[in-house]
Amino acid sequence: MTSETMKSRIYLDHNATTSLRPAARTAAVAAMEATGNASSVHAEGRAAHARIDEARAAVAAALGVRADMVVFTSGGSEANNLALKVRDARALIVSAIEHPSVLAAARADARPLADIPVDADGIVDLDRLESLLEVAERPALVSVMLANNETGVIEPVKAVADLVHVHDGLLHVDAVQAAGRIPVRFAMLGADLATLSAHKIGGPQGAGALVIGDHVRLDALIRGGGQEYGRRAGTENVAAIAGFGAALGEIARNALPTASLRDSLEAGLKAITPEITVFGAGATRLANTTCFACPGLDAQTALMGFDLAGIAVSSGAACSSGKVTRSAVLAAMGVGDELAAGAVRISLGWTTTDNDIQACIAAWDDIVARHRSRHAA
């Protein structure tokens, strides 16, 4: 595919990765053009270290924490894995809709594990969480994401935090999808640990961060050097980290997104197919995310139709495999297999325009018309 063809396409898969922000590109390129290992004591090394310090300060400012509470990683998945390495936690409790990097790491852990169920809108069951905390060996480590990557549903993490702390537990919040879309402040979350990812907010791929409370003791996931306060060994990805910090700085200078484009999109989709289900519609959601299904229309057909129309969208569960697979999130919400098989996620970003939304609605109209025509024959 040529660069001109790519420019003519419409990208509506921003929850997978969003467009690189100009400030992030400038910072990352400048770092790549410089030479120096941030652990070296010469001038070049000190310059690289300064770029990391600047980015760390930007992450800290965004979440309202001290810079020494921020540990850089290779991305959100590594940060989530590191978060589960809390030394003193005797049990793990995770929500049923967590990102695979949390679920897989928790299931591979030797400690007792329990899942928190969710309701039909994907909101964690606080009563069930309390019951799990009452019987879990203390202290338990609980992991609940702030906003779901498939549905955009926002979880009541402050209420979760209050319950967890009453039972002497610790709370990890995966804030990867929420950052840059809703206010995310560490104290407001009530969390003990929180995860961010650069490429979800307009930074480069290859950098993430874990914010760690002062009282939390972690075992390093990667050992071998003293980088990142001894919590994550390895030469830092200076370019990606610099871009991460610059992206957060750009976000801080602009207003957070509103739901106007998403609402316009959903209204257009419903006008064509009143029978569609918008998953999580009964809960508070991110302003940029809609996940829906039309009975009888499978996701593979819909995604191919959008792609042929020059529009990039995804299914609800294409994050890790690049394939359309059964969504564990929708299964946890009690969605039947047939409807879940048609789930399409459209996620908007800072580059999305009203013209993009209208083109997406028109493409959906064509997809549905072809589908109905085939089944009427």
List, by residue number, the catalytic residues.
Answer: 319
Q: Which residues pair with 73 in a beta bridge?
A: 208
Q: In angstroms, rounded to a whole number, what is the distance separating the alpha carbons of residues 18 and 351?
A: 9
Beta strands in the chain (DSSP E): 10-11, 70-73, 91-95, 113-116, 140-143, 170-174, 193-197, 208-212, 277-278, 289-293, 311-312, 314-315, 344-347
Cβ–Cβ < 8 Å for 228, 212: no
Q: Which of 3, 2, 11, 7 is nearest to 307 (CA)?
A: 11
Question: How far is Cα 71 from Cα 73, in angstroms, rounded to an integer?
Answer: 7
Task: Look at residue 219 and give its three-state secondary structure.
Answer: coil
- Taking Cα atoms as reference points, which of 351, 249, 313 lies closest to residue 26? 249
